[in-house]
Structure 1
Amino acid sequence: MKKFLTVFVIMILTLPVFAQVEHSGDENPIYKSFPGFSVDIASYKSDRDDKTRVDLFVQVPYQNLQFIKDPEGYRAKYSIHIKFSEKDSEKIAIESTWNETVVAKDFSATESRSNSNFSVRSFEIAPGKYAMRCEVVDRDSRKNFVIEATATVLKLSDSLSVSDILLVSSIIKDAEGEKLVPNINRRVTTDDSSLPFYLEVYSDKKRDIKLEYDIKDKEGKKVFVEIVEKEVQPGVNRIVHEIDGAKFSLGEHVLEAQLKNFELENVANVSKKFISKIAGFPDTITDIELAVDQMMYIATPSELDFITSVDDEETKLKRYRDFWKSKDPSPGTEENEVFIEYYRRIDYANSNFGNYFKGWKSDMGMVYITLGPPSAVERHPFDMGTKPYEIWEYYHINRSFTFVDNTGFGDYRLTSSPYGDWFKYSQ
């Protein structure tokens, strides 16, 4: 009996495994932002001396939710779980879960990249550094997204102090006053020249202060400086300010607010990181040099040389945009389907095929990005007498590709290089 079981197990392990690579070519590709949602926190003065009020903001794009048709239109349901743990002891300081429901009137609204649902919660917590974990779970598909980060909760005094910075995407003025729409994902575009934000200054008396606002680029160089003089009153002073005339290069920036007394002595300093992206392009494109390098499977060497032959970033961005504009199959619409699908494949390759180097540079990445998802995949991870290998079939071009893991560490290499006019980018 034992002998029979052993043979039976070996037979199972040596059978070819047939599977479909994720993101089937039959699907309508939708670019989903990573990591699936955005979260931001801001520290404000609490009524309790030993606590700080922390406002938590969560933004979930409609595209990352599963909508189900009901009598009111299309409905999506998800839960948010937040946990703050002390960095040193891992003791849980805050833990909370709540549910959200979103209703869209028509199906097109569920697919729009501009639609998101916003949530805000406030907590009282002691100042300090915390390990923050925020999880969003779609209650129908059970798909989950997680963000983990270090959260610094400020200690704010009554004498003179400043809250965290909250970036603002828009300011709505109506009969009730001003309403701020927070910029939770902390994104601006290279076309923007303004940056609105909100903060609070706390003072124990009426006094004159100065606020210095600085913007630093990804190299740490100051690209904008503004000093504003203000008279603050005792208590909470709510400040909405808009930096105007700034120029944002592609990539990460830091906005700093320095609170100074009228003798220009620094009292407090707060900062907020934000990302500048190309207008109309996915958030993942934040490095123009890398984005151009990744075009090697769709652009010719001369086209790449033309884009990279200038040092001026603005000109390089224009040439980059012009290239993708020439590939747009529906120039009259907001979406450039070729661009979106191409960089979706880049992201998928980086997530699934990376080993000794980035997935987009791997053999599997090259084939996946160029030809898209295979029609079928035959996996042989445990065949006796052979190294692990996979066979990818592409029925529409009548070709197959064999990848072998020679090292045993998941570094699959093509057994033969693809040559010929047939091996070119296709949707």
Structure 2
Amino acid sequence: MKYIDKKLLLILLAGVSVLFAAAQDEDPIRFQVDHRIRPSDKAGYGQLEMTIRVPNKSILFKKSGEEFEAKLDVTISILHNGKKIAGDTWFETITTRSYEKTIASNQYTELKKTYELKAEDMTVVVYVADILTQRKGKKEFTAELSLFKDTAWFLGEVFPADEPIHVDSSKTPPVRYIRFIFSAAGKEGKEKFTFRIFDDGKKIREGYFFVNLKKSPRDYAFPVSIDELGYKTYTLELSTMIDDKEIRRSTRFQIRWEEMSPLIHDLDLAVRQMRYLRMTNFIQADEYQKMLNATGDEQKKLFQDFWKRNDPSPNTPNNELMNEYFHRIELANQLFSGFLDGWESDRGMIYTIFGEPDDVEQHTFDLSTKPYIIWYYHNLNRQFVFMDYTGFGDYQLTQPVFDVTY
């Protein structure tokens, strides 16, 4: 079993530098678009604020004198009923003197745009292209500006403030909280607002507060305690009464730790997803069982201690091994989800442990047998056969791989 343990470490470390490097050259450029909708001081209009975040490591930087330089081609198209009514196209040059910033996973380039638009739902399409590699990416979303239509006053979207967790040390024990921001316009005076927090659709907290509103558009902030909230994603709902009707806005937010991989969104789930490390003896049975059974701060400490011990570069802010493992979990979900989440399927298990196969042989139309697929790992001298016993695309291993299961 020690052999498997060391072999898995080598396979994961290889993935950090090799397995997904080739795929990145072929995949669309990765970026994200955040948008906020706010009321306008112009009747029948709203404001759309957009932030495009492009990870530096997903684009190519070229040495130019003392600097490293990358170039992006960006296009924003805003459509109403299929007709373009607004947008921009421009070239963006990004420069840095630090090579480390060109490859760091926590370095982003942010591009911001604001548009004043009629109070109608809009389709927004964003294209980003890396000029040096010609890799391109596309994002599309609906901007619901119709929420500013035909009401006595206007309530914009609610979203978490882009700032660290606050600690109120004046209370015993100290209270940790984050702030949420919403915008409003068209109303003067004191109004009551109610907030609710949901965990997987179940309400776990509720509170209310009053705000002295001003008629002109502006932002307002309110605090929400995060004590007793675990490392996972929640939904906050904000509501108030407009024209004798309850108006609601909602946003998702996540409690995070700075040293945690951005690919992990739920600590309980992340611990369960570590079962392949147990099956390969990369984590011992008693340590894994203790982590599974733990809750709250105890589970957090056990999780952090394990990955800290297995950090291949402890003097850097990123744990490449943890990032690689959960990156494979994420890719398994994208590639193999069906009756189960992709990571729980047999193909997801093999993909997570061994990475992308060197060759894939498909037999989906053989009349004499059920559909099956063979994955080849030439460097490991291994092959795995998956058969679709049901005919619904649920490919299962034809033979067990490990003596240990979990």
Instruction: Specify the alignment match of 1:67 in structure 2.
Output: 61
Determine the C-alpha separation between the residues in 2 that align with 1:211 and 1:243. 13
Q: How does 1:72-111 map to 2 (within 5 A)?
A: 72-86=66-80, 89-111=81-103
- Counterpart pick for 1:36 among 30, 38, 44: 30
Q: Is the 8 A contact 2:178 2:225 kept in 1?
A: no
- Counterpart pick for 2:137 among 145, 162, 168: 145
- Counterpart pick for 2:154 among 157, 161, 164: 161
Instruction: Specify the alignment match of 1:400 in structure 2.
Output: 382
Cα shift at 1:123: 2.0
Q: How does 1:79-228 map to 2 (within 5 A)?
A: 79-86=73-80, 89-153=81-145, 154-155=147-148, 160-170=153-163, 193-203=176-186, 207-223=189-205, 225-228=207-210
Determine the C-alpha separation between the residues in 2 that align with 1:249 and 1:35. 32
Give the match's secondary structure for 1:114.
coil
Question: Any idea what the Cα deviations from partners look like across 1:36-64, whole Å, max 9, x if unmatched?
Answer: 33322222333542322222222222222
2:223 is equivalent to residue 243 of structure 1: yes
Determine the C-alpha separation between the residues in 2 that align with 1:249 and 1:288. 8
Cα shift at 1:135: 3.3
Q: How does 1:309-324 map to 2 (within 5 A)?
A: 309-310=293-294, 312-324=295-307
Instruction: Specify the alignment match of 1:51 in structure 2.
Output: 45
Give the match's secondary structure for 1:250.
coil
Determine the C-alpha separation between the residues in 1 that align with 2:87 and 2:182. 26
Where structure 2 has 5 or more consecutive residues not aligned to the other structure, the ranges are 1-13, 165-174, 279-283
Letter of the 1:377 partner, please give it: D
Cα shift at 1:335: 1.8
Where structure 1 has 5 or more consecutive residues not aligned to the other structure, the ranges are 1-22, 172-191
Shift of the 161–48 alpha-carbon distance from structure 1 to 2, 3 Å rule, reads closer
Q: Is the 8 A contact 2:337 2:343 kept in 1?
A: yes
Cα shift at 1:109: 0.8
Shift of the 161–80 alpha-carbon distance from structure 1 to 2, 3 Å rule, reads same
- Counterpart pick for 1:282 among 252, 257, 261: 261
Cα shift at 1:269: 4.0
Instruction: Specify the alignment match of 2:235 in structure 1.
Output: 254
Cα shift at 1:124: 2.9
Determine the C-alpha separation between the residues in 1 that align with 2:106 and 2:181. 23
Determine the C-alpha separation between the residues in 2 that align with 1:67 and 1:25. 20
Shift of the 125–298 alpha-carbon distance from structure 1 to 2, 3 Å rule, reads same
2:352 is equivalent to residue 369 of structure 1: yes
- Counterpart pick for 2:317 among 303, 319, 334: 334
Cα shift at 1:293: 2.1
2:286 is equivalent to residue 302 of structure 1: yes
Instruction: Specify the alignment match of 1:27 in structure 2.
Output: 18
Which structure has the highest helix share of the two? Answer: 2
Give the match's secondary structure for 1:348.
helix
Aligned residues: 368
Question: Any idea what the Cα deviations from partners look like across 1:108-152, whole Å, max 9, x if unmatched?
Answer: 011223321222212232223344433333222233333333431
Letter of the 1:221 partner, please give it: K
Shift of the 274–128 alpha-carbon distance from structure 1 to 2, 3 Å rule, reads farther
Give the match's secondary structure for 1:307.
helix
Instruction: Specify the alignment match of 1:272 in structure 2.
Output: 251
Instruction: Specify the alignment match of 2:171 in structure 1.
Output: none
Q: Is the 8 A contact 1:217 1:223 kept in 2?
A: no
Shift of the 81–383 alpha-carbon distance from structure 1 to 2, 3 Å rule, reads same
Question: Any idea what the Cα deviations from partners look like across 1:163-220, whole Å, max 9, x if unmatched?
Answer: 323533249xxxxxxxxxxxxxxxxxxxx9332344433246x533444454444344
Letter of the 1:149 partner, please give it: F
Cα shift at 1:107: 1.0
Determine the C-alpha separation between the residues in 1 that align with 2:249 and 2:184. 11
The structure that has the greater radius of gyration is 1
Give the match's secondary structure for 2:314.
coil
Instruction: Specify the alignment match of 2:330 in structure 1.
Output: 347
Determine the C-alpha separation between the residues in 2 that align with 1:268 and 1:25. 47
Shift of the 25–381 alpha-carbon distance from structure 1 to 2, 3 Å rule, reads farther
Give the match's secondary structure for 1:27.
helix
Determine the C-alpha separation between the residues in 2 that align with 1:111 and 1:233. 45
Determine the C-alpha separation between the residues in 2 that align with 1:332 and 1:393. 32
Shift of the 371–272 alpha-carbon distance from structure 1 to 2, 3 Å rule, reads closer
Instruction: Specify the alignment match of 1:19 in structure 2.
Output: none
Letter of the 2:269 partner, please give it: L
Determine the C-alpha separation between the residues in 2 that align with 1:391 and 1:40. 38
TM-score w.r.t. the length of structure 2 is 0.74
TM-score w.r.t. the length of structure 1 is 0.71
Cα shift at 1:373: 4.2
Instruction: Specify the alignment match of 1:179 in structure 2.
Output: none
Letter of the 2:346 partner, please give it: D
Q: Is the 8 A contact 1:212 1:225 kept in 2?
A: yes
Letter of the 2:109 partner, please give it: N
Determine the C-alpha separation between the residues in 1 that align with 2:235 and 2:345. 34
Q: Is the 8 A contact 1:167 1:198 kept in 2?
A: yes
